[in-house]
A and B are shown apart, each in its own frame.
Chain A
């Protein structure tokens, strides 16, 4: 009897030891976000007189949101982000699939140089090159347009190509060959047979790339400085000067800007995890 209670006690202790660090960090993650959320619904007086941890009197007080989203043009900036995300990730995934198809199914003289370029692109930090790229964009008259960031986002990195290549391993070459016997052209094989089968990889890349583009700051900060080209990420930066003294207003802007990727993540968690871990674990 005593031994059983002792065993049980040991079990509870072990469970607690396992949970405590995780709960603690989950708390550290959630607490600032929760306070930010609460504050975003408080008016100036309530913000000044209540503790940040206290829930607001009225969760339907959208005054702050009205000021940031509409008067502060965050909503319009989010539309710009949306354009970047859609164009950038679609082009990226298309070029990535095309490159992977060439590398996987064909042999050609320049193949090893193409591969070398991708390896180089993974090693050289892109932010460092921006100072030179900026000059090039300037001479192409692309600075101050959404074109510049879209082009940079369109360029598939080694990870995207690699995810596609991994996926290609599941598609036997014999499938292509039988289509060739039926007289299908390579282009037709790619569009009608290969690309549809790559869909899971495509979805994974689209999602991770969308999150990356939406959250990327530096490229957008460099190329889209004018007010009507501000994106969700950079709009907050101008905003902070304007509303520096009233954090409750700023909080609503932060929450609004956080929501799109948060929803995407919560809805498609498995794909997000798959996209991030596939390149890191194997290889």
Chain B
């Protein structure tokens, strides 16, 4: 068989399945989602009507929107904070010091642990009656904290789990970035009499700025998509105080059969993420591209 012919058969054979899956489970759903966002479909009945922009109007006038903004904002804020703590840790761990491998392993570990198991672990840690933190609070004669039932605290309880889980991951990425800087640069700067701070300020920082920026965008992006902790532990409660964008979409679809509304909300969220990603690609060159 000629190589021309072979090439054709191989390309079709190798790419058919991945492309079919892509079209079926990415492109088609994306198109359908936009389509349904203009209808009043409930998600199960065969008939539905076009309602134009009504769903979008509902999205932007929904009183829950502020709660979602605030909660996803909390995730974003802590996400950004996390990129800086992780950087500090990474700088410490890449110094010559005893136990750096140990620190790296331990601090990264939460990332590999099963998310549901971790959620229930924290459910216990933060328990009002039996939780170790409140046992301690009572021991020091302080007021125990209502981690899950206080409307103002609950979202931060969930955010703290996310911090616990992701800090090590971000740190490991920074460590890899720091280790990719040529050690000769430091050596020659030390010979020139630079101190540790000057080394950090004039060598380390410029070399990893791009990755810090990238991580911040990824943190923002991730914070918009947060919902796991809510789904496992609070189901949005107390009241609607721990709803996030994603959880609200899921809830509207599966519990209230508001398919059109959920679709419109999804489209809005995808747009926000697209804009963020667009800005990121403009501002920070890089990320993964093929």
Contacts and interface: CB of A to CB of B under 8 A. Distances in A.
Interface of A: 15, 18-19, 21-22, 25-26, 28-30, 32-33, 35-36, 39, 51-53, 95, 98-99, 101-103, 106, 108, 114-115, 117-133, 135-136, 151-152, 154-156, 158-159, 161-162, 165, 180, 185-187, 190, 211, 214-215, 217-218, 221, 232-234, 236-237, 240, 247, 250-251, 253-255, 257-258, 261-262, 264-266, 269, 272-273, 276-277, 279-281, 283
Interface residues of B, number: 94
Interface stretch (B57-65, B141-149, B182-190, B246-254): B246-254
A129 B29 contact: yes
A36 B15 contact: no
Nearest to A251: B124
A42 B21 CA distance: 48
A123 B106 CA distance: 31
Interface stretch (B47-55, B67-75, B269-277): B269-277
B14 A98 contact: yes
Contacts of A251: 121, 124
B25 A133 contact: yes
A128 B114 contact: no
Contacts of A185: 1, 6
Interface in B129-177: 130, 132, 135, 164, 167-169, 172-173, 175-177
A276 B73 CA distance: 26
Contact of B289 (A119, A255, A261): A119
A215 to B, nearest CB: 5
Given A99-B14, A125-B270, A155-B25, A162 B290 contact: yes
Interface of A is mostly: helix
25 contacts: A21-B92, A22-B92, A32-B122, A36-B124, A52-B135, A53-B132, A99-B18, A115-B290, A121-B26, A123-B273, A125-B225, A129-B33, A131-B250, A132-B263, A135-B32, A136-B29, A240-B120, A247-B127, A247-B130, A254-B114, A258-B117, A258-B118, A262-B113, A265-B109, A279-B288
A132 B43 CA distance: 9
Contacts of B253: 131
Interface in B242-290: 246, 249-250, 253-254, 259, 262-263, 266, 269-270, 273-274, 277, 286-290
Contacts of A32: 121-122, 125, 132
B232 interface: yes
Contacts of B180: 281
A114 B286 CA distance: 20
Contacts of A269: 105
Given A156-B18, A280-B211, 16 more contacts: A32-B122, A51-B132, A52-B130, A95-B17, A99-B14, A117-B27, A118-B290, A123-B274, A128-B225, A155-B21, A155-B25, A247-B130, A253-B120, A254-B117, A276-B172, A279-B288
B10 interface: yes
A283 B173 CA distance: 13
Contacts, number: 252
A277 B117 contact: no
B112 interface: yes
B216 interface: no
Contacts of A255: 117
Contact of A214 (B32, B114, B169): B114
A158 B231 contact: no
B177 A281 contact: yes
Contact of A187 (B10, B21, B124, B130): B10
A137 B273 CA distance: 26
B215 to A, nearest CB: 8
B112 A264 contact: yes
Contacts of B33: 128-129, 131-132
Contacts of B198: none
B200 interface: no
Nearest to A115: B290
Nearest to B124: A247
B36 interface: yes
Contacts of B112: 211, 215, 261-262, 264-265, 272
